[in-house]
Structure 1
Amino acid sequence: MPRHSRLCPARPRRARRFPALALPCAAALMAATPSLAETQGWSVHAFGLKVGELRLTVSENATSYTGSGGFRTTGLAGVLRRIRFSVSARGRISQGSYRPITYDGSIDTGRRVSETRLEYSGTLPVKVAGAQDPATPIPEADLRGAHDPMTLMWQVLQDQDAKTLCQLSQTQYDGTRLVRITLTSRSNDGDSVTCSGTYDRIGGYSAEELAEMKTSPISVTYRNTGATWRATQLRVKTRHGSATLYRQD
Structure 2
Amino acid sequence: MSAALLAGMLAIVPGAAPAVEQTDLIVFDVVLKGIRAGRLTLTGTVEGTHYSANGTLESAGLIRLVRKVKYVAESEGTTKNGRYTPSYYSEVADTGKRVSESTMEYRAGVPQVKVYNPPREPQQTDVKPETQGGTVDPLTALYATLRDVPVAEACTLEVQMFDGKRRSQITLSKPVVADDGIVCAGEYRRLAGFSENEMADKVAFPFRLYYVPVGDGRMRVNLIETDTTFGVGSLRRR
With structure 1 as the length reference, what TM-score do the two structures score?
Answer: 0.83
Structure 1 counterpart of 2:64: 78
Asked if residue 107 in structure 1 is aligned to residue 107 in structure 2, the reply is no
**Does the CA-based 8 Å contact 1:134-1:176 persist in structure 2?**
no
CA-CA distance at 1:38 after TM superposition: 2.6
Inter-partner Cα distance in structure 2 for 1:243 and 1:150: 20
Give secondary structure in 2 for the equivalent of 1:137. Answer: coil
Structure 1 counterpart of 2:167: 178
Structure 1 counterpart of 2:74: 88
Moved over 6 A (4+): 22-25
Alignment of 1:181-200 (within 5 A): 181-200=170-189
Once the two structures are overlaid, the 10-residue window that deviates more, 201-210 or 231-240, is 231-240
Q: Structure 2 counterpart of 1:61, which letter?
A: E
Give secondary structure in 1 for the equivalent of 2:174. Answer: strand
Asked if residue 155 in structure 1 is aligned to residue 141 in structure 2, the reply is no
Asked if residue 243 in structure 1 is aligned to residue 206 in structure 2, the reply is no
Give secondary structure in 2 for the equivalent of 1:31. Answer: coil
CA-CA distance at 1:62 after TM superposition: 1.4
After superposition, the CA RMSD in angstroms is 2.4
Structure 1 counterpart of 2:198: 209
Give secondary structure in 1 for the equivalent of 2:143. Answer: helix
Residues 139 and 113 of structure 1, relative CA distance in 2, 3 Å threshold: closer
| Structure 1 unaligned spans of 5+ | 1-21
Give secondary structure in 2 for the equivalent of 1:110. Answer: coil
Match of 1:230 among 220, 224, 234: 220
Q: Structure 1 counterpart of 2:203, which letter?
A: K
**Does the CA-based 8 Å contact 1:134-1:177 persist in structure 2?**
no
With structure 2 as the length reference, what TM-score do the two structures score?
Answer: 0.86
Give secondary structure in 2 for the equivalent of 1:77. Answer: helix
CA-CA distance at 1:127 after TM superposition: 1.2
Q: Structure 1 counterpart of 2:94, which letter?
A: D
Inter-partner Cα distance in structure 1 for 2:100 and 2:228: 21
**Does the CA-based 8 Å contact 2:113-2:129 persist in structure 1?**
no
Q: Deviations over 1:78-121 (max 9, x none)?
A: 11111110111011123443211000011101110000111111
**Does the CA-based 8 Å contact 2:180-2:212 persist in structure 1?**
yes
CA-CA distance at 1:37 after TM superposition: 3.1
Residues 135 and 220 of structure 1, relative CA distance in 2, 3 Å threshold: farther
Inter-partner Cα distance in structure 2 for 1:235 and 1:134: 33
| Structure 2 unaligned spans of 5+ | 1-7
Q: What is the number of residues matched between the two proteins?
A: 227
Between Structure 1 and Structure 2, the one with more strand by share is: 2
CA-CA distance at 1:243 after TM superposition: 2.2
Asked if residue 219 in structure 1 is aligned to residue 208 in structure 2, the reply is yes
Structure 2 counterpart of 1:124: 110
Inter-partner Cα distance in structure 2 for 1:81 and 1:25: 49
